[in-house]
Structures are given as C-alpha cells and as structure tokens.
Structure 1
Amino acid sequence: MDYLQQSFAVRFEYKVYFTEHLFSAENVAFRDFLNAQKGNTARKLLFVIDKGVVETHPDLQGQIRTYLEALEGYVLVPEMLVLEGGEGAKNNPQLFDQLVEAVNAYGIDRHSYLVAIGGGSILDLAGYAAAVSHRGIRHIRIPTTVLSQNDSGVGVKNGVNWFGKKNFLGTFAPPAAVFNDYHFLTTLSDDDWRSGMSEAIKVALIKDAPFFNWLEANATMLARRDMPAMQYLVERCAELHLQHIAGGDPFEMGSSRPLDFGHWSAHKLEQLTGFAVRHGDAVGMGIALDSAYSAVSGMLDEAAYKRIIDVLQVLGFAITHPLMEISSEQSAVIRGLNEFREHLGGQLTIMLLRGIGVGEEVHHLDTALLIKASELLQHHDAVA
C-alpha cells in the first residue's frame, strides 16, 4: 500500500499587555502595536463592543475615533457594532450572523483586524466569527472583566453555545494581541468583580501553592475591591494560564484538561439554570464540589479543604446550589459527567487535588462519594 505523509508545525505568538486608559492620547500601547504591523496597503479595523461597556463608558467610542484619527496605514470602518453581552451573546445565532455580515459588508480581509471589547462572552463570539470568516481573520481582544482579563481573554479558545451545551461550536484561534485595561474593572458590578476570581483560585489550587497562599492572605482586600491586589491577581493568573498553553497541548488534542478543574459540574449548572448563574460563580461551586470530593475520597486533608472553602466564602462565593446537589445517579448535575466526557473526546479525565497547588487527574468519580461531597457542602453552607 502506498501513501504520502505530511507533518508540519505552525508557530503562534502574541503579547498580553497590562495597562490603563488604553485609548487616552498619552497611551501608546495600542498605537505602537498597530504601527509594528503596518503593511503596504491600508488595513481596516472593525470594532465590536459589549453593550454593557458602552453604557458604563459612554465616551469610549469617541475616544477610539479620536485615538485612531492620526494613525496612518489603518482605516476605521464607520460602524462600531454594539452587541448585548453576557452568556446570552453565545446563545444567540443572530449575533453571530450580524458579525459575519459586517465582516463581509466592510471588506474585512485577512490583513485587517476585528477588535473586540467586552467580557468573555463577547470575546468568545467575536473570536469565533473571526476564526471562521475567510478561514481566519486577525482578531484583537480587549477584555473588560476580571474573568476575561485573567483567563478566557488571554487564551486561544473561541466558541458559542449550541444544543444548549457550553461551547459546543468553537475554534482554537490565538488572538493577534490582548490588551488588559484595568480601568474597565472599576465600573464592574460587585458580582462581576467577584465571579472572575474563581479562575484564579482554580489555577492556584492545581499549579501554584504560593499564589493560593497570597489569595488567602489578601481575600478580604480583594472582596473590598482593592485595585492593586486585583491587578496582581489578574496578571499572575494570566501568566499561569499562558504558561499552561505553552506546555505541550495548546489545542487540547488529548483528554487532559487540568485548567478545567471544577468545570464539569459548573458547565452543567450553567445549562440547568439557563445560564442565569455566572460562569465564574458556577466555577466557584464546581471548585468547592471537587475539593469536597478530594477530601471525602481521602486525597485531600481536611485542613486544606477547609482553607479552600474559607477563601471562597470570604470572597463572597456560594459553595453550592440546589441544582448542584447530588442525592442519586439521577441527580441532574450527574449528567454533566457524561457531557464532559463527550467534550473531552473520549476518556473521562477529571482534575482533583492531592494538596494545595498539587492536582492529580482521575478517570472515574464514584457516585456514593459525590453524594457524600455534596452533603458535606450543604452542611458547611448551612453552618457558615
């Protein structure tokens, strides 16, 4: 039998910038990036902005236009698309159609840029539209929430929800650049400020005990919206996520998903509540459940388990939800395990904890122990 074999590698490289007031005249970060990419012909910029960001920063569109007026080599398209953000953006096919239609109408080619400003949902939606238009146009992310600045916005994933399932449609398409502007965090609601911190707890628990110790020591300050503390959290969390992406499986070809610690039940809870529960809040409860399971299975000592729950609660997280309670094989959240296995593409692989900063993957969760873990959280929540 004859055959031909091909093998090649594609190098991806992008920078994540940390700044404030990105579109003020004095801030050269965005301008310098674009100037470094200039070609022989003018390149177009299509901006997509989260409606919530426009409402809390009403001067933003004017600032962008003024900032880009003097920039040579680029053309700002006349319309800035303002889309409803939140998880609903990833559930609405009409928004995807609107984005792709704008790419077509304004002639956004593979040398132009789609620039998305908003929370993780808008970034996911815009990144997906960019990835499938012309088989991939360049996109720039400007995350505006804690969750998107420290986790989803700095990674390589894009996607939308389909069939009622989280990120059923999606791509791996790295951004051209990410600009984290801390000023956007100042206008977040308390709920959005809090919910983004769950991903920092997650990555600290599985990768970095000193970072968890820092989170524990600074939890009260973070809950009180101390900005210097939040800036450190965002940058360290983003750094750990970027290190993981560079660690050998950036496009998740295998079944190992260490950064999905706490996510199997979180994704199911989001679905069961019609996405009324924020992703970060759901992840916080998922972390609590997997930490409780680690404890009742004998992997994690009781003192470490209590430290985790205490940090979550000091930061303001609920640690369980009626739809996350497990009493039998028929409990609704249990179906999330099979869906997670499908998402992984084969073998079930769940990250649990051997200690603070020490994760260990397992390939089976025992229902009896899940029931016990769920009961432990319900009791803890009741007496907290």
Structure 2
Amino acid sequence: MNIEQSFSINYKYQILFTRNMFNVSNTELFDTLNENKESSKAIQVSFVIDSGLNDCQPELISNIEKYVAAFPKLKLACKPIIVTGGEDAKNTMAEFEKTLSMINEAKIDRHSFLLAIGGGAVLDMAGFAAAVGHRGIRHIRIPTTVLSQNDSGVGVKNSINFFGKKNFLGTFAPPFAVINDLTFLTSLDERDWRAGMSEAVKVALIKDAVFFDWLEANAIALNNRDLEAMEKLVFDCAKLHTHHISNSNDPFEMGSSRPLDFGHWAAHKMEQLTNFGIKHGEAVAIGIGLDIVYGTYAGFMTEATADRILKVLSNLGFDTFHPVLLNEAGTHINPELLKGLEEFREHLGGELTITMVEKIGDKFDVHEMNTDWIEKSALTLLKKQETYAY
C-alpha cells in the first residue's frame, strides 16, 4: 500500500522602493508590517543591523526606535543587535548563533518579524537564521548595498559558508518583503558602490541587450556616483533577477542550470583564494571577463564583442584581472582556481553546467570547459589589463 501526497504553495512577496524609510512620515514599513489591518494584536519586530552600516550611520538605531514608537501597534521585541558585516558574517557560526540567541531570548515567534538591515552577507546569514528559527519566522530584508538591492537581497536564497565552501549551509526561503531604500547607498564607499554593478552587467548579458546598451552608455556616470542612474540600474537589475526566479520553473534550483550564476564559478573560488580580500562583485566582474574571453577561444563569441564587454566593466571602474587567476610565476593557470569548477558542480549536484554568452542578451549552457582555453583566457586578461586603457 502507498500514500501519495501532493501539494503546492504559492509564494508572493513585494519588493518596495522608497527613500528615508525610518522617517516617521514614511509609512511604507508600517504598512508592510500591518498587512492584516483588521487585527488589533501588537506587531512584534526585531532588527539585525550590519556593523559597517551602523558605523556609517550611528543614528540608525535611534531612528528605528523612534519609528517603532511612533506607531502604537508596533512593539520592539528587544534592542536591535549589531552583527559583523561583510563575508565575516557568514564565515563562522558566531553571527548566526548570535541571531538565533536573539530570536530565542526575545521570544520572537512565527507571528513576529525579523528585519535584517545591511549588505548581502548579513542578509544571507540573518535570512538563514529566520528560516530555521521555529522552522520559519517572517523575515523582511532591507538591503543597503548596490549588490544586495539589485541581486542577492531580492531573491530566495539564505546561507552561511561552511567547510571552507561558499554558501554550503542554507535554505531557499522567500522573505515576507524586501524594502530597498536608495538613501542607504549614499553612505557606501567607492568599492561597495561599484561592486554590485557587476551583477547588472551579468544579468544584462544573459537576458537583456537593451539594458546592456544602457549600461554601456551610462557606465562613466555610474562610476561617478550618479544617484539617479544608480536608481534605474538597481530597479532594472532587480526586476530581471526576480522575473527569472518566478519564470524559470526552477526557483529553488532543483536542476543543474544556474543562469544567474554566469561568471560565478571562478568568482566564488577567487573569493576563497584571496580569503575574501576581493569583494563578491569585484570577483564576479573578473569571472565574467574570464568566461567572455573563453568564448572567443571556444569560437562562439567575437573578439569585438568581448572587448566591448570588457570596456564596459572597466568604465564602471572594475579591474578585469587578479593575480590569483595564475600561478605564482604568472605563466599558467592557478590549479587551485580550476577546483572551482568541481565545487560549482558539487553545490547543485548533477552534471557540470556553466552558463555562457554567445551574443549579448543570449545565453546557453556548456557541460565541460577546456582548461587550456581557461589558461589562455586568464593570460589574455592579464595582457589586456596591462596594455589597454579601456
């Protein structure tokens, strides 16, 4: 005798765009929390804040407390906690356990809200804690970097690093909502302002040639911190990412293909090999460059197209080469980098599946890569970095 069980769950969440969200005259957050407007029950909220953001905006906790106090229906479960920002948030269990301890001690339950404010790594970690605490706490992401507002913060993944492998532990757990406040971007340093733009190049290359044309035309303005241009980049990039998740028929990546990880097989490994001294977005830019040049050796991309893409990356302010691509002598591919291919495959299981671009806006998958062409691509990036002023 057998029992077959089948059910489906409809996930829906909003990605909201606003400015100055903790000004009491802005009700975007309260309206989101107060979705069940007919209930008279107090809405319990808790906050996890990125230390880097807190350093830049020391008034943030006070503004949050004033905001919560301005709405009698809201109740602050405990004082907001500060967690280490950047990849250190994910590299040990410390910040994850700190967040779980807050959930436990403040008695944050499945009818409460955990709000995470910060860059992508902090959102990944806090989202994972929310997903496993009580088997799932309502979680609102408030991304504060370009990378998290246009990519990592708007999706359905949560994770921490483990066994020396990026995102080894994690869940697919959609947030209750995402709120992108553009004003947070004004406090970013040059590297963090720039880093997230590589994900916009990535998604344009695999999905939208018109968006790539816009990036090409506005690359220098974006590099010069034009806020209006950045607002369009963030919105369009987030829209393309979320449309892919909802329309791919594989939002939880049960298959072998990961188009949104174009350029990432090498990027993830470069992050590890530099002990995360290179930021994710910086590594993605180089990973894109490596796979684009690889396309010229494989014969499916013209050198003119590859150079056009590399020039856009350079105009955005990215380096397109890092010494970690090569051995210490700088003459051959770094054998440790090549291990990234197997780790990329292992992360999903199944066969190796690497997304490639034939022409801008048009992707396809390959299931093997030629190591000689990878080496030639890395050496070509070195040469171009040394000889071209893009």
Instruction: Please state which band the TM-score falls in when normalised by the shorter chain.
Output: over 0.9
CA distance in 1, matches of 2:117, 2:203: 25
Q: What is residue 57 of structure 1 aligned with on the other side?
A: 57
Q: What is residue 109 of structure 1 aligned with on the other side?
A: 109
Q: What is residue 290 of structure 2 aligned with on the other side?
A: 289
What displacement does 1:31 show?
A: 1.4
CA distance in 1, matches of 2:334, 2:310: 26
Per the alignment, in what secondary structure is the counterpart of residue 373 of structure 2? helix
Q: What is residue 255 of structure 1 aligned with on the other side?
A: 256
Residues 1:359 and 2:360 aligned together: no
- CA deviation vs aligned residue, 1:140-175 (integer Å, no higher than 9, x gap): 000000000000000000000001110000000100
Q: What is residue 271 of structure 1 aligned with on the other side?
A: 272
Q: What is residue 173 of structure 2 aligned with on the other side?
A: 173
Please say if residues 266 and 286 of structure 1, whose CA atoms lie closer than 8 Å, have aligned partners that are also in contact: yes
Residues 1:6 and 2:5 aligned together: yes
Aligned-pair Cα RMSD in Å: 1.2
Q: What is residue 347 of structure 1 aligned with on the other side?
A: 351
What amino acid is aligned across from residue 189 of structure 2 in structure 1? S
Please say if residues 202 and 287 of structure 1, whose CA atoms lie closer than 8 Å, have aligned partners that are also in contact: yes
Of stretches 35-44 and 114-123 in structure 1, the one that deviates more from structure 2 is 35-44
Q: What is residue 133 of structure 1 aligned with on the other side?
A: 133
- CA deviation vs aligned residue, 1:42-90 (integer Å, no higher than 9, x gap): 2311100011111111211111111111323331123110111000110
Q: What is residue 120 of structure 1 aligned with on the other side?
A: 120
Q: What is residue 27 of structure 2 aligned with on the other side?
A: 28
Per the alignment, in what secondary structure is the counterpart of residue 4 of structure 2? coil
Per the alignment, in what secondary structure is the counterpart of residue 246 of structure 1? helix
Q: What percentage of aligned pairs have identical amino acids?
A: 52
Please say if residues 323 and 332 of structure 1, whose CA atoms lie closer than 8 Å, have aligned partners that are also in contact: no
CA distance in 1, matches of 2:36, 2:315: 45
Q: What is residue 216 of structure 1 aligned with on the other side?
A: 216
Structure 2 portions without partners, runs of 5+: none
What amino acid is aligned across from residue 354 of structure 1 in structure 2? E
Q: What is residue 241 of structure 1 aligned with on the other side?
A: 241
CA distance in 2, matches of 1:125, 1:320: 29
- CA deviation vs aligned residue, 1:20-42 (integer Å, no higher than 9, x gap): 10011221111111222354532
What displacement does 1:371 show?
A: 1.4
CA distance in 2, matches of 1:313, 1:343: 30
Q: What is residue 185 of structure 1 aligned with on the other side?
A: 185
What amino acid is aligned across from residue 282 of structure 1 in structure 2? A
Going from structure 1 to structure 2, the CA distance change for 1:368 and 1:101 (only over 3 Å counts) comes to same
Please say if residues 328 and 367 of structure 1, whose CA atoms lie closer than 8 Å, have aligned partners that are also in contact: no
CA distance in 2, matches of 1:70, 1:25: 7
Runs of 4+ in 1 over 2 A off after TM superposition: 37-43, 325-330
Residues 1:376 and 2:380 aligned together: yes
